[in-house]
Chain A
């Protein structure tokens, strides 16, 4: 009885708070203001990112510059997710290897993929990598950015892992790249801290709008994010595909 009462009380409080909060929001009103006279943070971003930062893509300016610290947290969340996946799914105890191998071999899906797919994958793989790199290098000019480019690169690796059974990623290089990219991100932040007095502070030099090298440190940070996301997602795919054959 008491439990139910507490639950009702909680729900009532929650509902009341939500109702009060939402009733105070004027729906349909112009809350942005004008660009000359910004009233909210959105107008401030829209005004500042092309004019002061010289970044054509406002979303990138917000993600990497105005809330860059949060992006650093997101990248580390991704890293933690990959680590957690590996630690949960990694099987240490040896099972009956014979049995499992037999089961695999008798399965029709375990045949190698056709030579058409293999040749096509070989041709497409470098092009997919190129597209991914293009996307994260142009993150401050066009839609897309580090996360998207990294995901595209990971799909390229997925294509190779699916079509070639013997395709192995070099784990050492992957881990090194990932660590270096993370270190680079933090290093850019520390540079801002030392030089300008605040973590991830952008440089004073920003270049011209719509140039490839513009926006100060934003392209650099997005390149680091792209490399980190690509290596992490590739590692995740590798772990997921090798789960059955992995033994100590």
Chain B
């Protein structure tokens, strides 16, 4: 029993280390990336994985909390991408342009189409 606890402890510490590295990379990405969308992506992806990993590590260190922490992990995995998606979409609609020239912009076309449809409906 003792040995299992010891092994779990080291695995948990490794998870916490990996998670903190990812969190650091996410912060670095927010600092270094050129525009809002890249920053959002860096922040979300890295911090989701980092936070999940840190929480899982804590759960392995304290097996008594593991179930609660797994629920928290599920919520982070669920809510974090969703909120960043909403943020990115709202900022695109608000007219924030991406930094670099882009050749493919499906969403911009879709927005224009939607707007035209609504205007047409309004006129009739």
Contacts and interface: CB of A to CB of B under 8 A. Distances in A.
A114 B89 contact: yes
A108 B79 contact: no
Q: Interface majority SS on B: helix, strand, loop or mixed?
A: helix
B118 A105 contact: yes
Contact of A111 (B78, B82, B95, B111): B111
Contacts of A116: 82, 85
B119 A120 contact: no
A76 interface: no
Query: How extensive is the interface on chain B, given as a class?
Result: 10 to 19
Contacts of B111: 108, 111
A19 interface: no
Interface string B57-101: 000000000000000000100110010011001100111000000
B85 A114 contact: yes
A120 B115 contact: no
B85 to A, nearest CB: 6
Contacts of B94: 108-109
Contact of B115 (A108, A113, A124): A108
Given A109-B90, A111-B111, A114-B86, A120 B78 contact: yes
A124 B79 contact: yes
A179 interface: no
A169 interface: no
Nearest to A112: B114
Interface of A: 101-102, 105-106, 108-109, 111, 113-114, 116-117, 120, 123-124, 127
Interface of B: 75, 78-79, 82, 85-86, 89-90, 93-95, 111, 114-115, 118-119, 122
Q: Which 9 A-B pairs have the closest CB atoms?
A: A108-B93, A120-B82, A117-B86, A109-B93, A105-B122, A111-B114, A105-B118, A116-B85, A114-B89
